[in-house]
Structure 1
Amino acid sequence: MSESAKAHLPVDGGVPNTRFGLIKDRSLQLKDGYLSKIPLFQFILLSICFPMWGAAASLNDILITQFKALFTLSDVASAFVQSAFYGGYFVIAIPASRVIRKYSYKVGLLLGLSIYIVGCMLFFPASHVATYTVFLAAIFSVAVGLSFLETSANTYSSMIGPKESATLRLNISQTFTPVGFLAGALLGKYLIFTDGDALHKQLEGLDASARQALATEALQRTLEPYRLMIMVLVVLVLLVAITQYPHCKPLNEANQEKPSSVAETLAYLSQRPAFIKGIITQFMYVGVQTALWSFTIRLALQMDSSINERSASNYMIYAFIAFFIGKMFANFLMTRVNQDLILIAYSVLGMLALVYVISVPNFSAVWAAVFASAMLGPGWATIYARTLDTVEDKRFAETAGAIIVMAIIGGAVIPVLQGLISDLSGSMQFSFIINIFCFGTMALYFWDIYRHSKTPVASKETAA
């Protein structure tokens, strides 16, 4: 087949997509891996995968509070929930990218969803063993599945349509993520937390037998959200399995005959300073996002000792709603204003909000933390798409995308550092100071991009 013919292949390779009653899409596969237009049904189904890791992540924020009381943990020890979760991402991202490189993005999605189901199922034996380390192992297993899922979905979303709309397309998919954050928080609030006194107060003064009984009951409640998630995941994996997806990989036989190795990819990426800066910024972004949400409930409990975990979780829910609003507003602005200026403004406002959090000794500090969550809005997707776009040779796209996902290890590091600051200073409020530096890194990153841009004001077409 000639190169000109290859450049305009239908997304399904010319095979009518009539099984299961699905309608054949007319999008054309372009030579660089992008499509001539977005296949709408496939894009929507792909975007529905995004809330699934949001739900798992926000449940971690609930588990941190629950495990701290049940296992009598320090703030730094409770933060190891996030270390287990984001450590799974870090370890598996490169292997996941090689699977995607050898097979397809769809295979990556199916593997991710399937392993995610297995990880959720591991919570059930973990509840019977009832030790902190076994729960951490179950959380790590969930993260392994999510690493496959997110490594596939983030890069795929940026590729499944025209190149000029890659950043906005990923931002639209990422807009679904707060739905998962909110769902996870609501599941935790109503299925894990209870009314009455805070759990640590309920456990105080009980004899060993009564304490064990209450702890067992509390651990059993942690299973309820995962039962529901397993059912949703089974439906989703079946829908993805029966839907035909475009390959979204460069149409170049030479590249397919000699796929790039990890070493070749790393050598290529190490010569691209813009890619390295993006990785550092993504590390900081995920760090501040995870740390903010890990300790919002703890901050509320510290600032008002009269409330319990269920009441304090409301502020976690408000944070996710603020995050969603912030992201939607940013998506609107990106069609009209330079993206870099938007991210600079968001980062600076986030820093100011956190200065308020650590400076004002009353409950309004919790609301400032909620506002800071709104300023996270467009960060992940914009940094991801910008960083991936620096990889001009798309032979390296899958592994480059995995390395960007590996930057999620910031979610394992920053919360632990914040927990350490809290333990050493004796102030959860003061520990939020570390998040100011994360927002500052983001502001400098986008200022650097804006300063070196040949076109300071992005055209409407570029933003779209």
Structure 2
Amino acid sequence: MNNENHVVEEKRGWKQLADGYLDRTPIFQFILVSLIFPLWGAAASLNDILITQFKSVFTLNDASTAFVQSAFYGGYFLIAIPASIVIKKKSYKFAIMMGLIFYILGCGMFFPASRVATYTMFLAAIFAIAVGLSFLETSCDTYSSMLGPKKHANIRLNISQTLVPLGDMAGIILGKYLIFGSVGNLSETMSHMHGAERIAYGEKMLQLTLQPYKYILFILILILLILALTPMPKSKAVSLKSQTGDQPSLLETFKYLIKNSRFKKGVMAQFIYVGMQTTVWSFTIRLALDLNHSITDSDASTFMIYSYIAWFIGKLCANFLMNRFSLTKVLTIYSALGTVTLILTTFIPSMFAVWMAICTSFFFGPEWPTIYAHTLDTVEDKRFTETAGAFIVMAIVGGAVVPAIQGVVSDLTSSMQFSFIVPTICYVMVTIYFLFEYRYDLKHPELISENS
């Protein structure tokens, strides 16, 4: 038995190997971790509702509304490394509990934010939620892949990630009925109001933003309590420590990762992909409202429900295909077809463009978890796993950058539809990344693990 297969811990029915993986998957613990995935999906999809709400209430241009995503994904970027340090010093379980607590605090901040009724206060609440989600994604994405045999790591992460669209759908449904409700077209309604009447009505609409977060708070507290009482595997590599027995420092980890060209390309691909996905979802509702002035905000939000259903189906189909074919080949084809649908979204001047944006979500399905797990696989020294995962999560900051760029393009061209050229270019770049990775796999078949 080689060093990496040496058993370093045997507890409650599972054995932890020296590389951090387990000999079997503890089902309850895996399900519990997987149930956390839709929680950040709900928060992300509510942002798409808030962007439309804030644009009308605070009279914002498209570039300014993108600050919702900048606050959200900026929080991810700033906290990912501190979260990885917490994991290294403590445990995955501790980091997940920290994330849930910050998430709870952020949701709680919506209560005073709705009273203060300023855009800045809402952005602060969204940032606090993002801090919690950064802890959750930095820990859960890697932890899910580690909860079982190494050869099935990619499959486990994709199974967990398959639940994210369910959270997205829940978030958009809560927003559709609890925030938009029977308001109609908020922008049209408020355009006829002025002065004190407009301010009073805007404050009333902001009160509606509290409603979905009440339900989310209850679920968060329940999950936190269950997790606190559940024994969880450590799943941390111990066999490849340095001669002094110390874990590598952040500087040592950075020096190691900076020499890994495939890791760097994976991080960049994740940056571009998350930015593209975020901007498509951020502006699909706006695109529908721009192309059809007769529909209400609530009607337009239904298109996002369709998008998340398409995303969910896309994940299921990809999971099936990746069990039978090379994952890089499957993702190359997915990305190429997604590029085509975005081209049609950008240039077809009718509601058909909205349906093409929805089709694009089908091809988003497997992208994030596959890029994540595939990039993490390029890190051979598993002592660096936690921090490497944090760098990949930091790439989520693309969700703060690309929507802002699309917002600027929309304002400069006075065309929300043409601004979809931004995510189209992004998808071309993601396609090129997977194509080169597929060619690499063909040249190095010995490096392809089972089911990857």
Does residue 1:249 correspond to 2:248, yes or no? no
Superposed displacement of residue 6, structure 1: 9.1
Does residue 1:408 correspond to 2:408, yes or no? no
Counterpart of 2:358?
A: 370
Counterpart of 1:7?
A: 6
CA distance in 1, matches of 2:355, 2:59: 27
Counterpart of 1:17?
A: none
The amino acid that maps onto 1:325 is I
The amino acid that maps onto 1:282 is Q
Does residue 1:390 correspond to 2:378, yes or no? yes
The amino acid that maps onto 2:288 is A
**Equivalent of 1:40 in 27, 37, 55:** 27
Counterpart of 2:153?
A: 166
CA distance in 1, matches of 2:419, 2:158: 30
The amino acid that maps onto 1:114 is I
Aligned counterparts, 1:337-356, within 5 A? 337-356=325-344
Aligned counterparts, 1:113-262, within 5 A? 113-195=100-182, 197-252=184-239, 254-255=241-242, 257-262=245-250
Counterpart of 2:438?
A: 450
The amino acid that maps onto 2:6 is A
CA distance in 1, matches of 2:4, 2:309: 47
Superposed displacement of residue 458, structure 1: 9.7
Aligned counterparts, 1:84-99, within 5 A? 84-99=71-86
Deviation sequence 1:327-361 (CA, Å, 0-9, x none): 11000111111111110111111110011111111
Counterpart of 1:49?
A: 36
C-alpha RMSD of the superposition? 1.9
CA distance in 2, matches of 1:422, 1:303: 14
Cα contact 1:119–1:139 (8 A) shared by 2: yes
CA distance in 2, matches of 1:231, 1:35: 32
**Equivalent of 2:252 in 248, 260, 264:** 264
Superposed displacement of residue 441, structure 1: 1.4
CA distance in 1, matches of 2:61, 2:89: 44
CA distance in 2, matches of 1:458, 1:226: 48
Deviation sequence 1:18-56 (CA, Å, 0-9, x none): xxxxxx3x2211111111111111001000000011000
Deviation sequence 1:144-182 (CA, Å, 0-9, x none): 011011100001011111111111111111001001100
Superposed displacement of residue 3, structure 1: 9.3
Report the TM-score, using the length of structure 1 for normalisation. Answer: 0.94
What SS does the corresponding residue of 2:450 show, helix, strand or coil?
helix
Cα contact 1:339–1:458 (8 A) shared by 2: no
CA distance in 2, matches of 1:179, 1:457: 35
Task: Tell me how many residue pairs correspond in the alignment.
Answer: 451
CA distance in 2, matches of 1:239, 1:369: 38
Identity level (%): 53
Cα contact 2:240–2:383 (8 A) shared by 1: no
Cα contact 1:338–1:457 (8 A) shared by 2: no
**Equivalent of 2:323 in 309, 313, 335:** 335
Alpha carbons of structure 1 residues 10 and 353: separation in structure 2 relative to 1, 3 Å: same
Does residue 1:298 correspond to 2:286, yes or no? yes
CA distance in 2, matches of 1:382, 1:253: 25
Q: Which moved more, 1:210-219 or 1:231-240?
A: 210-219
Aligned counterparts, 1:12-27, within 5 A? 12=11, 24=12, 26-27=13-14
Report the TM-score, using the length of structure 2 for normalisation. Answer: 0.96
CA distance in 1, matches of 2:64, 2:281: 16
Does residue 1:30 correspond to 2:30, yes or no? no
CA distance in 2, matches of 1:181, 1:326: 14
Cα contact 1:11–1:245 (8 A) shared by 2: no
CA distance in 2, matches of 1:207, 1:29: 65
CA distance in 2, matches of 1:192, 1:7: 54
What SS does the corresponding residue of 2:364 show, helix, strand or coil?
coil
Where do 5+ consecutive residues of structure 1 fail to align?
13-23
Where do 5+ consecutive residues of structure 2 fail to align?
none
Counterpart of 1:112?
A: 99
CA distance in 2, matches of 1:233, 1:11: 30
CA distance in 2, matches of 1:458, 1:399: 26
Deviation sequence 1:420-444 (CA, Å, 0-9, x none): 1111011111000111121111111
What SS does the corresponding residue of 1:29 show, helix, strand or coil?
strand
Does residue 1:70 correspond to 2:46, yes or no? no
CA distance in 1, matches of 2:4, 2:157: 28
Counterpart of 1:274?
A: 262
Alpha carbons of structure 1 residues 11 and 142: separation in structure 2 relative to 1, 3 Å: farther
Cα contact 2:41–2:165 (8 A) shared by 1: yes
